[in-house]
Structure 1
């Protein structure tokens, strides 16, 4: 049912996935496989869904041998979240295509599936790398990697540092989120508003990094605004953890409440749940003069989500999970694989704020028929119209604000400014109680 709700949004991204991998495995809740080396498309691919379901035993009959295949285990929510899991898939499918590998995918319906999905793959002893998508699989990866020490694993956002056969792909979400916070706060201050929001998924360590970075950027923006405009401003951050990454209704409810409370920009950090944030902002604009563009605005996460609802999403904090996954596969193949952390921040291109070019690059990657369907859905006659609309949306924000965000980015990259990255309750509480970005910076360690 959830996938049906998002069917129109998924057409574009899944259409691109078909081209990238040939024969795609997806689906809701079962175990699935996909073979990038096969040019044959299933009947469902022709209709745009691109899914084919097979049993684990069928995935073991490749015949390509060890290092001829890679595998990926998705977190709950899975493919189609237009966010975290989808970005992991894009990185894996690109690696499969570039290195002529079979790609096998398994979907986790619940947390109980993590261990058995990983073991199903590990015992086949045929994969150059098994990729686990998400912090929640940390314990399972740690256990399975000990049981199968000759199998290489990579985990996105997990903390498995004591296993030579496990690479932990980490991101400095705090850095990218600081840019999102600065953008949100400066937009609010410029419009004489004093609140911004953030809607998050489950309360886990990696999301504390998002929240901390966002709060840091807001405080930095207060300081910058005073220097730029000569006025004191105080921007409150309204936050809510929804406890889910795949419930758009919860995301919408949280965003509705924040908008009613005065939030002028809302950052979604909740995967599929965050799609509800976009719906809430769009409805708010419609009910206030039938506006096609904000403010108020939403800020997307993980991928360049601006195209999902142009005019509603001012920018996205891109977390390049695809880059991390691709690099991990490459390392497993070329012999440079090492256990421990591979961490990517602003300097390494692992996180960034989306640009119009980022959004259009993603859109242009779609098959022509998918592009036409999406343009029709969005109400545009051409890609040029879409680009122009995105550019006009950004023009609702003064140039000096974009320049300020770029200034913060450069200072973070150079090391002049350090953004805290708490990963526990005590750490985030200290960030929440800090009065200035300088106080927060002292907590960066």
Structure 2
């Protein structure tokens, strides 16, 4: 049996966790989001016999009854960067963008991975076509996760500077990125990109089909499943569990992923969305998503599979800087091989 508790504000975190822990009847209590880290640390200390898991939260001094589930967003973002870089190279463009939320260490993993993927794409394209390409990454931290207007302004600035694809890593702020790209397509009388946006965390493609070529997905469900499975099987251990491409913790959305996401929305939201898009059925939405992907040559999708396999096998390592100094080193690196040395 699943019991779900929603906190109205950060002030409720500790009390809600305490209430659940005091009942002493839950196999594992799962807290979602790095904002809950301190609350979990405090309450887990008060209830050492209760198992806890936190998604996206880390503290080196976390009690040992807490499983900290982290994602290798650097690996998923490398695929997003490769996608952006290959589309740009194939279309003869030399700039891609990334719009981020607050400048905090967890977001460096996204930026570093994206940059890595773009550099890898330059190299791949050169091997394939025999042409040198040099693609600049325009980046902006907006300082917010819930200001769509800021996201739109940041994306507009990048589009004006020639960004061909923009990856949004900014929560609600990033919705403005989709709007900015759609405005450009509208002004050109186009229903599908390029230019394109790349979504984040969940398969966001359904939000603006034709605008969003794919999303870098973070499988929170896989994280929760891991914690619950271990608790049920009696193998639960505190400490860090990191989920990357190999563990299916991160990835690039497929059309199936997007439709699964769409089907999980409330019925009236689904209907409203189809209406807004001028579509009469979910099958038409699927077709629209598939057609969007056909704007990109098949070899690009094949290249992403190659990079994914190399990362999964450990042949390629993607940097995951956790402080500003390490991030600056990645920004300064000229090749993906140089970046990989920083990862090691």
TM-score range, shorter chain: over 0.9
| Residue 39 (structure 1) aligns with | none
- Residue 114 of structure 2 corresponds to which residue in structure 1? 214
Tell me the distance in 1 between the aligned counterparts of 2:45 and 2:2.
Answer: 25
Q: Does the alignment pair 1:279 with 2:179?
A: yes
SS across alignment from 1:151: coil
Give the match for residue 94 of structure 1.
none
* Aligned counterpart in structure 2 of residue 325 of structure 1, from 221, 224, 228: 224
| Structure 1 position 114, deviation (Å) | 4.2
Q: Where do 5+ consecutive residues of structure 1 fail to align?
A: 1-99
1:192 equivalenced with 2:78 (yes/no): no
Partner of 1:154, secondary structure, is strand
Superposition deviation, residue 423 in structure 1: 1.2
1:160–1:167 CA contact under 8 A, matched in 2: no
User: Per the alignment, in what secondary structure is the counterpart of residue 415 of structure 1?
Assistant: coil
The answer as to whether partners of 1:160 and 1:340 remain within 8 angstroms in 2 is: no
> C-alpha offsets along residues 253-307 of structure 1, whole Å, 9 cap, x if unaligned?
11111111211100011111111111111111112x2211001000001111111
1:12-411 equivalence runs, <5 A: 100-108=1-9, 110=10, 112-162=11-61, 163-287=63-187, 289-366=188-265, 370-411=269-310
Say which is worse superposed, 171-180 or 330-339, in terms of deviation: 330-339
1:61-111 CA distance string (max 9 Å, x none)? xxxxxxxxxxxxxxxxxxxxxxxxxxxxxxxxxxxxxxx232222233x5x
Instruction: Answer whether contact 1:135 1:156 (CA < 8 A) is retained.
Output: yes
Task: Look up the match of 2:328.
Answer: 429
Does the CA contact (< 8 Å) of 2:7 and 2:13 recur in 1?
Answer: no
Structure 2 CA distance, aligned partners of 1:342 and 1:335? Answer: 16
Deviations 1:241-263 (CA, angstroms, capped at 9, x unpaired): 12222221221111111111211
Task: Give 1:443 deviation, angstroms.
Answer: 1.0
Between 1 and 2, higher relative CO (CA 8 Å, sep ≥ 6) is seen in 2
The alpha-carbon distance between structure 1 residues 149 and 177, as it changes in their structure 2 partners (threshold 3 A), is same
How far apart are the structure 2 equivalents of 1:332 and 1:284? 50
Give the whole-Å Cα distance in 1 for the aligned partners of 2:147 and 2:125: 36
Q: TM-score under structure 1 normalisation?
A: 0.73
Q: CA deviation at 1:122?
A: 3.9
Aligned with 1:105: secondary structure?
coil
Residue 438 (structure 1) aligned with residue 327 (structure 2): no
In the alignment, which residue of structure 2 is the partner of 1:31? none
Aligned length: 343
Instruction: State the Cα distance separating 1:359 from its structure 2 match.
Output: 1.3
CA contact (8 A) 2:32 2:55 kept: yes
Q: In the TM superposition, what is the alpha-carbon distance from 1:356 to its structure 2 partner?
A: 1.2
TM-superposed CA distance for 1:119, in Å, is 4.0
Instruction: Report what 1:88 is aligned to.
Output: none
In structure 2, the gaps of 5 or more residues are none
**Aligned counterparts of 1:102 and 1:115: Cα–Cα separation in 2:** 17
1:161/1:341 contact within 8 Å kept: no
State the Cα RMSD in Å: 1.9
Structure 1 residues 323 and 107: alpha-carbon distance in aligned structure 2, compared to 1, 3 A threshold: farther
Q: Tell me, what secondary structure is at the counterpart of 2:6?
A: strand
**Structure 2 CA distance, aligned partners of 1:332 and 1:435?**
45
Counterpart contact for 1:300–1:315, Cα < 8 Å: yes
